[in-house]
Structure 1
């Protein structure tokens, strides 16, 4: 599988989605903050072991590698936009939306 352009940007986006700082995530992943920074800047290639660890921490590895969400093939376009927007929200905003949805 070829890693699409934007790998580092997507990795950073996923880390931020989980509300981890670069330092926090690198510690949990067992690497240095400099290595995490290099991954996110596209200067280093990640190992399979790192991806497995990142996935256990909540990173969507398929999205980070390919730029495609797993739901790409099963969601209607408006649903896809909603999910993508939701993932970009802060944890606090996600929780607020979850409360609104639970009231319906």
Structure 2
């Protein structure tokens, strides 16, 4: 199987995992829908800048490139941290902002020991 096509299939899986349509994700990434479709279904290779931006949006680019997902241990995250990050990445913008306010408030609160 063509490596670009396999990477494209994994890119599509990651996009869907985060709940984005092709149209929505292409807007988020600053590319045309046609380009997004090409990355996912044709021989067009997504470049490093695109993949870097995709990683910042929550996609696991190690999985996209290699076919192997990065585990919480490889990310140096505990399972709890990895689960929290997974939940966070599935929130919309407003929910993320609300969660950040709560987290910042909790971080400032004196700890109970």
Same fold per superposition (TM over 0.5): yes
Q: CA deviation at 1:56?
A: 0.8
Q: CA deviation at 1:16?
A: 0.2
Equivalent position of 1:64 in the other structure: 64
Please, what TM-score do these two structures have when normalized by structure 2? 0.58
Equivalent position of 1:41 in the other structure: 41
Instruction: Tell me: CA distance 1:4–1:24, structure 2 relative to 1, closer, same or farther (3 Å).
Output: closer
* SS across alignment from 1:31: coil
Q: CA deviation at 1:73?
A: 8.0
Unaligned runs of 5+ in 2: 75-85, 91-113
RMSD after superposition: 2.4
Q: How does 1:1-104 map to 2 (within 5 A)?
A: 6-71=6-71
- Largest Rg, 1 or 2: 2
Q: CA deviation at 1:42?
A: 3.3
User: In structure 1, how many angstroms separate the alpha carbons of the residues matched to 2:32 and 2:48?
Assistant: 17
Higher relative contact order (CA 8 A, sep 6+): 1
8 Å CA contact 1:63, 1:70 repeated in 2: yes
**Residue-pair matches, total:** 74
Q: Which runs of 4+ in 1 moved over 4 A?
A: none
Unaligned runs of 5+ in 1: 75-86, 92-104
